[in-house]
Chains A and B, each alone.
Chain A
Amino acid sequence: MSDKVDLLGQYIGQVLIPRLNRADELFEKGKYFEAVNKQKSIIRALYREISKSEEKSNGEKILLNWIEKIDSLYEFSPKVKGETNEITQYNLKMHRNNLAQKIYENLDWEIWGKLHELGYFAGKRMYGPKVEDIDMEKAVEI
């Protein structure tokens, strides 16, 4: 493994993965909007700072697409206190949270796919649980 990849690996392992874990924690708590904002910094780092080669222009396009999606959530932010009633503020927040959940899930695939592309998984054990350890009580009929 070259020094460059090692440095990249270190950056991902020490900076990005803890951020990802933090985003995951927020998501698990239902704080989708906060989780998405955490993801925003990760995807930005992945595409802007790391991808400096020939992929850059395509990466920029994908990055901008995601950033726009995340930023569009702010349109649904509750207004300054007193400007709208509490019910409207609550509805806005719930709507924003629902949108954020969808973005989070999609972006999660994007981030892990990108990490894979960068070879981060080579020789690492960043694996999910065994099939038999997955809680099937929450399974639903499709």
Chain B
Amino acid sequence: MQIIGSRLRTDLPTIRVRWLRGYDKVDWSKALIFLALGKKGSGKSALLENIGLRYPRIVDLFGSRDDEGLSWCRDISPIDDVLLIHGDNVDVNCSWDTCKIGELTYDKMMQYEVSIPSYSFFTSDLSRFVGISQIMKLFWDRKEWKSPVYVTVREASSFIYSRIKQDNMNMKNAKADFIFWQREMRHFGYALGIDTIRWTSIDKEMRDLADYQIIKKVGGQGLPDDISFLYKYIDPMSMARLRPDKFLIFIAITAE
């Protein structure tokens, strides 16, 4: 019986895949990158949360303004061990453990199964972006690792925007910074779950870094050009209207 954090592997919602080409058993002991593309309401975040449950520690780093990161606190969530991270001049009164961003350490985060710096726990956009940046710096404190920590970034283009706003970068530098971050995180034992509804604004290089690309409902926008050959495997109209519980997953392969 496999135990992940406080969860039993057998109790987790299953993720089933019909491999049309090849066969791949995901190795959850590796720091993998999952990138989900799809329209809003297509179930990207729910799937990335489900994937995250396979990892013993989760940091819900970046979410939308509606505090979707707090979904880990729902009654149906199999996780009880949550740390809410808030701004230094914000008080949060709740039954969950909380921590000021100024007092947060890497070790403190690792005492909990999920750490969430949610939008409402900061006084402004900027203070939240600064807080997230501080957490990102703490990530580098992980000098050795045995099992990966799962980090979620919900809406990659907003995340890039946050970097532009907080560090006064231009778009090119912010994207380069994000690519660098993705690449380096793996070496420090962080698995990443990234989603985006604006896949045309995500560079191919960012997508290529993903170990698994997950395509949800793409609507009329369709697949990015470089992967539209996937239509050979799935009819475009049915890709455009995928139900939230369905997805297409593929592993990027190069000739090298």
Contacts and interface: CB of A to CB of B under 8 A. Distances in A.
Interface of A: 62, 65-66, 102, 105-106, 108-110, 112-113, 115-116, 121, 126-132, 134-136, 138-142
B232 A141 contact: no
B25 A129 contact: no
A20 to B, nearest CB: 10
B228 A121 contact: yes
A135 B235 contact: no
A142 B22 CA distance: 13
Chain A interface helix/strand/loop/mixed? helix
Contacts of B145: none
Contact of A116 (B20, B22, B228, B233): B228
A105 B21 contact: yes
Interface stretch (B9-17, B67-75, B126-134, B148-156): B9-17
Contacts of A130: 234-235, 237-238
A139 B16 contact: yes
Contacts of B19: 140
A139 B225 CA distance: 28
A135 B18 CA distance: 8
B242 interface: yes
A142 B25 contact: yes
A10 B183 CA distance: 42
A128 B235 contact: yes
Given A65-B255, A130-B235, A131-B234, A136 B229 contact: no
A141 B253 CA distance: 22
B256 A134 contact: no
A139 B17 CA distance: 5
B246 interface: yes
